[in-house]
A and B are shown apart, each in its own frame.
Chain A
């Protein structure tokens, strides 16, 4: 079955540091890939997505590139802020027209950014 593996956390950085959170996946078809972010006490929000190989999703300074050859979708940001402290989830939707939008999530990575 489909699966998503994220780098283990928690990740602790100083403000303005470079961020990478690794995400790799296994899927039978050609999935769409997502990064969701969860701020304390809130639900998940879509951060960015990519629907086909070599697509780059970007939002709020975050980027991730869909790499089919390495089955990866690593999240990066050049300069993190304290307000980026949250839990980040990588997810895939292996639609193929039959999955009804069901998502498979990674385990989440806790990011803490210190001033």
Chain B
């Protein structure tokens, strides 16, 4: 039962470097989400997708891009990493039926030096 898998689990970047975080789900969910978790601030939505080929901005989208080329995968990109993007990133997915819970991955801890 893989559920939602995030890679990598840890990464250290230098300011200005780029990287892509991968999220994969095996539950055939329509909706997928990227959040960042910072101390004392809960989780904040970065971008989300309601289906293959579609993406939309969340609460804190600046500095991030996403793509959903396949239904099961949702990629989060940082084009030019900044120290303010040091955070723990969580991917989640859910069924399109109303009031369904989101299923979360175990997170990616990203440090930008």
Binding site for B on A (CB under 8 A): 4, 32, 34, 36, 41-46, 49, 51, 89, 93, 95, 97, 100-103, 105-108
**Least Cβ–Cβ distance between A88 and chain B, in angstroms:** 11
A89, B106: Cβ atoms under 8 Å?
Answer: no
A43, B90: Cβ atoms under 8 Å?
Answer: yes
**Least Cβ–Cβ distance between B22 and chain A, in angstroms:** 15
Q: Can you spell out 6 A-B residue pairs with CB atoms less than 8 angstroms apart?
A: A44-B90, A44-B92, A46-B102, A89-B42, A101-B96, A103-B33
A51, B99: Cβ atoms under 8 Å?
Answer: yes
Residue of B nearest to A6 (CB): B42
Given A43-B4, A106-B42, A107-B42: A101 touches B100 (CB 8 Å cut-off): yes
Binding site for A on B (CB under 8 A): 4, 31, 33, 40-45, 48, 50, 56, 58, 90, 92, 94, 96, 98-102, 104-107
A101, B94: Cβ atoms under 8 Å?
Answer: yes
Residue of A nearest to B9 (CB): A41
Residues of B near A43 (CB, < 8 A) are 4, 90, 92, 104-107
Chain A interface secondary structure, helix, strand, loop or mixed? Answer: loop
Report how far A108 CA is from B44 CA in the complex, Å: 12
Report how far A49 CA is from B33 CA in the complex, Å: 19
Across the interface, B99 reaches (CB within 8 A) one of A89, A93, A100, A102, namely: A93
Interface centre among A34, A93, A97, A103 (most CB of B within 10 A): A103
Interface centre among B43, B90, B105 (most CB of A within 10 A): B43
B102, A45: Cβ atoms under 8 Å?
Answer: no
Residues of B near A108 (CB, < 8 A) are 40, 42
